[in-house]
Amino acid sequence: MPQGHDLFLAIQMPVVWGAISMQSGRYRSLALEPEAPLALDEAVALVDAGLALTRGTPGVREAKGSAPATQATATRDDVERLLRADGLLVPVVAEPPRWGEVAAVFAPLIERALEQG
């Protein structure tokens, strides 16, 4: 992800905090592909890392009950459920949800957290 990209901060910071599931192809290749659809385990890891980062508490919960990386793509309902469970406003996301657009949910929260130190 080039530093000048609109989603640089929203994507790079959660990655540092564990947003890439170790079972995903993104983890093995480090190709983030923000326009690529999310698998459910990736959606869980991304939301957890974004929340941990904004709260200053590193750590990502296990994606309990989710299938390995060969699983089907996450749905809009999956992403909305994950975001609502943590009290986040749910943006309109594509079907299937894309990695970059879900990461973008955290951009203002990350910026605010970094400003507060």
Give residue 63's pLDDT: 42
Q: Which domain holds residue 45?
A: 8-58+71-116
Domain count, the chain: 1
Report if residue 79 sits inside a domain: yes
What does the pLDDT average to over 62-87? 70
Give residue 59's pLDDT: 53
Report if residue 53 sits inside a domain: yes
The CA distances from residue 94 to 48, 56, 99, 101, 107, in Å, are 20, 29, 10, 8, 18
Task: Examine the pLDDT at 88 and tell me if it is beyond 80.
Answer: no
Q: Residue 14: which of 115, 104, 89, 112 has the closest Cα? A: 104
Report if residue 3 sits inside a domain: no
pLDDT in tens, 4-62: 888 787 777 777 777 776 777 777 777 778 888 888 888 888 888 877 777 766 555 44
Report if residue 65 sits inside a domain: no
Q: Which two tokens stand for residue 64?
A: 């309990």
At position 7, the amino acid (one-letter code) is: L
Q: Which residue has the higher pLDDT, 79 or 65?
A: 79
Report if residue 2 sits inside a domain: no
What does the pLDDT average to over 103-113? 79
